[in-house]
């Protein structure tokens, strides 16, 4: 009697559902993708302007430090009141909404702060603040 040998079928992996999902994902991302390059190919004549300023981020505010002895320091440099005026006018010309923070020593004469405020007005600086600290808070 001959022995019957069974043929073993190799197990196979059915890839059809996975391929279906991959194709659906490809279609989804292709439809959802922005085709900005294609949008720019349309024949459009953009309007022109006579004067335009480039879009820029506003610069950091300028910190003006007024020391007890009346000296003025901006960005690590000691300036006279006239040099401060020139510096603020240049900054205002570069950016019309330039902001200034005035940090004066608490024991300063009031006139020194008024002089700096006057320079801000001459330079047409519209946005300025006077720095102060809350009682009990550590100085910065």
pLDDT category, 52, cuts 50, 70, 90?
low
- Better-scored residue on pLDDT, 118 or 41: 118
pLDDT category, 25, cuts 50, 70, 90?
very high
Closest of 118, 119, 113 to residue 131, by C-alpha: 113
pLDDT category, 10, cuts 50, 70, 90?
confident
pLDDT in tens, 99-116: 898 888 877 777 888 888
- Domain assignment present for residue 99? The answer is yes
For position 1, what pLDDT does the model report? Answer: 62
- Structural domains of the chain, count: 1
Q: pTM for the full model? A: 0.55
Residue 102 CB coordination number (10 Å): 20
For residue 107 the two structure tokens come to 């024991």
**CATH classification of the domain holding 78:** 3.30.420.270
Segments forming the whole domain that contains residue 108:
62-130
């Amino acid at each position: 009697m001959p022995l019957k040998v069974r043929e073993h079928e190799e197990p196979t992996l059915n890839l059809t559902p996975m391929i279906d999902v991959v194709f659906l994902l490809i279609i989804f991302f292709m439809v959802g993708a922005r085709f900005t390059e294609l949008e720019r190919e349309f024949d459009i004549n953009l309007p022109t302007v006579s004067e335009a300023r480039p879009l820029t981020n506003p610069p950091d505010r300028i910190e003006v430090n007024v020391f007890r002895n009346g000296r003025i320091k901006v960005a690590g440099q000691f300036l006279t009141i006239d040099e401060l005026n020139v510096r603020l006018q240049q900054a205002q010309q570069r950016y019309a909404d330039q902001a200034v923070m005035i940090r004066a020593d608490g024991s300063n004469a009031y006139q020194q702060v008024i002089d700096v405020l006057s320079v801000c007005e001459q330079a047409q600086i519209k946005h300025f603040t006077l720095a102060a600290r809350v009682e009990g808070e550590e100085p910065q």
